[in-house]
Chains A and B, each alone.
Chain A
Amino acid sequence: MGLCPSTSSGPRSRAAAMNCRAEVLEVSVEGRQVEEAMLAVLHTVLLHRSTGKFHYKKEGTYSIGTVGTQDVDCDFIDFAYVRVSSEELDRALRKAVGEFKPPPCRPQDALRSSGSDGMGQISLEFYQKKKSRWPFSDECIPWELWTIKVNVVNLANEQERQICREKVGEKLCEKIINIVEVMNRHEYLPKMPTQSEVDNVFDTSLKDVQPYLYKISYQITDTLGTSVTTTMRRLIKDTLAL
Chain B
Amino acid sequence: MDTDLSSQDRKDLDKFIKFFALKTVQVIVQARLGEKICTRSSSSPTGSDWFNLAIKDIPEVTHEAKKALAGQLPAVGRSMCVEISLKTSEGDSMELEIWCLEMNEKCDKEIKVSYTVYNRLSLLLKSLLAITRVTPAYRLSRKQGHEYVILYRIYFGEVQLSGLGEGFQTVRVGTVGTPVGTITLSCAYRINLAFMSTRQFERTPPIMGIIIDHFVDRPYPSSSPMHPCNYRAGEDNGAVYPSVEDSQEVCTTSFSTSPPSQLSSSRLSYQPAALGVGSADMGYPVLFAGGLNAAHPHQLIGPGKEGGVPPVPSQPAHGTQADQERMCTPLDGVHYSAATPSSSEDTETVSNSSEGKCGSPHDLLETIFIRKVGAFVNKPINQVTMANLDIPFAMFAPKNVELEDNDPMKPAFSKDDILPMDLGTFYREFQNPPQLSSLSIDIGAQSMAEDLDSLPEKLAVHEKNVKEFDAFVETLQ
Beta-carbon contact of A184 and B45 below 8 Å: no
- How far does the alpha carbon of A48 sit from the alpha carbon of B174 in the complex, in Å? 12
B116's nearest neighbour on chain A, judged by CB, is: A186
Binary per-residue interface labels of chain A (62-77) against chain B in the complex, 1 for a CB within 8 Å, 0 otherwise: 1111111111010000
**Contact for A78 among B139, B257, B267, CB less than 8 A:** B139
Beta-carbon contact of B41 and A188 below 8 Å: no
**Contact for B267 among A86, A128, A187, CB less than 8 A:** A187
Beta-carbon contact of B172 and A55 below 8 Å: no
User: DSSP majority for the A interface?
Assistant: mixed
**Contact for B53 among A66, A180, A187, CB less than 8 A:** A66
**Contact for B133 among A81, A179, A189, CB less than 8 A:** A81
Beta-carbon contact of B37 and A21 below 8 Å: no
- How far does the alpha carbon of A201 sit from the alpha carbon of B133 in the complex, in Å? 30
Query: B309 at interface (Cβ–Cβ under 8 A)?
Result: yes
For A166, what are the chain B residues with a Cβ–Cβ distance below 8 Å? 197
- How far does the alpha carbon of A52 sit from the alpha carbon of B124 in the complex, in Å? 15
Beta-carbon contact of A66 and B49 below 8 Å: yes
- Interface-forming stretch among B275-283, B314-322, B327-335, B355-363? B275-283
- How far does the alpha carbon of A44 sit from the alpha carbon of B132 in the complex, in Å? 13
- Known A-B contacts A57-B309, A180-B173, A200-B277; A52 and B45 likewise in contact (beta carbons under 8 Å): yes
Beta-carbon contact of B54 and A68 below 8 Å: yes
CB distance from A127 to the nearest CB of B (A): 11
Query: B462 at interface (Cβ–Cβ under 8 A)?
Result: no
CB distance from B328 to the nearest CB of A (A): 21
For A190, what are the chain B residues with a Cβ–Cβ distance below 8 Å? 272
For B175, what are the chain A residues with a Cβ–Cβ distance below 8 Å? 184
Query: B339 at interface (Cβ–Cβ under 8 A)?
Result: no
Query: A37 at interface (Cβ–Cβ under 8 A)?
Result: no
Beta-carbon contact of B269 and A19 below 8 Å: yes
CB distance from A158 to the nearest CB of B (A): 16
Most buried by A among B259, B270, B282, B305: B270
Most buried by A among B46, B134, B253: B134
Beta-carbon contact of B120 and A186 below 8 Å: yes
Query: B268 at interface (Cβ–Cβ under 8 A)?
Result: yes
Query: A20 at interface (Cβ–Cβ under 8 A)?
Result: yes
Beta-carbon contact of A20 and B53 below 8 Å: no
Beta-carbon contact of A173 and B41 below 8 Å: no
- How far does the alpha carbon of A201 sit from the alpha carbon of B277 in the complex, in Å? 10
B129's nearest neighbour on chain A, judged by CB, is: A82
Query: B231 at interface (Cβ–Cβ under 8 A)?
Result: no
Query: B44 at interface (Cβ–Cβ under 8 A)?
Result: yes
For B129, what are the chain A residues with a Cβ–Cβ distance below 8 Å? 47, 69, 82
For A195, what are the chain B residues with a Cβ–Cβ distance below 8 Å? 257
Beta-carbon contact of A65 and B45 below 8 Å: yes
Beta-carbon contact of B43 and A53 below 8 Å: yes
For A128, what are the chain B residues with a Cβ–Cβ distance below 8 Å? 272, 275
Beta-carbon contact of B39 and A68 below 8 Å: yes
Query: A112 at interface (Cβ–Cβ under 8 A)?
Result: no
For B280, what are the chain A residues with a Cβ–Cβ distance below 8 Å? 59-60
Beta-carbon contact of B265 and A51 below 8 Å: no
A174's nearest neighbour on chain B, judged by CB, is: B134
Query: A3 at interface (Cβ–Cβ under 8 A)?
Result: no
For B139, what are the chain A residues with a Cβ–Cβ distance below 8 Å? 78, 80
Beta-carbon contact of B52 and A208 below 8 Å: no
Beta-carbon contact of B254 and A62 below 8 Å: yes
A residues bordering B, Cβ < 8 Å?
Answer: 19-21, 44, 47-48, 51-53, 55, 57-71, 73, 78, 80-82, 84-86, 128, 130-131, 141, 143, 166, 172-173, 176-177, 179-181, 183-184, 186-195, 197, 200-201, 207-209
30 cross-chain CB contacts under 8 A = A59-B306, A59-B308, A60-B280, A61-B308, A61-B309, A62-B257, A64-B255, A65-B41, A67-B53, A71-B37, A71-B133, A84-B41, A130-B274, A130-B275, A131-B276, A172-B134, A180-B174, A181-B172, A184-B123, A184-B124, A184-B172, A186-B123, A186-B265, A188-B270, A191-B257, A191-B262, A194-B279, A201-B277, A207-B43, A208-B42
15 additional A-B residue pairs with CB within 8 Å, beyond A80-B133, A166-B197 = A51-B52, A53-B43, A58-B307, A58-B308, A60-B282, A63-B308, A66-B53, A68-B39, A68-B54, A80-B139, A82-B133, A84-B41, A131-B275, A197-B277, A208-B41
B residues bordering A, Cβ < 8 Å?
Answer: 36-46, 49, 52-54, 120, 123-124, 126-127, 129-131, 133-135, 138-139, 142, 171-177, 197, 252-259, 262-265, 267-270, 272, 274-280, 282, 287, 305-310
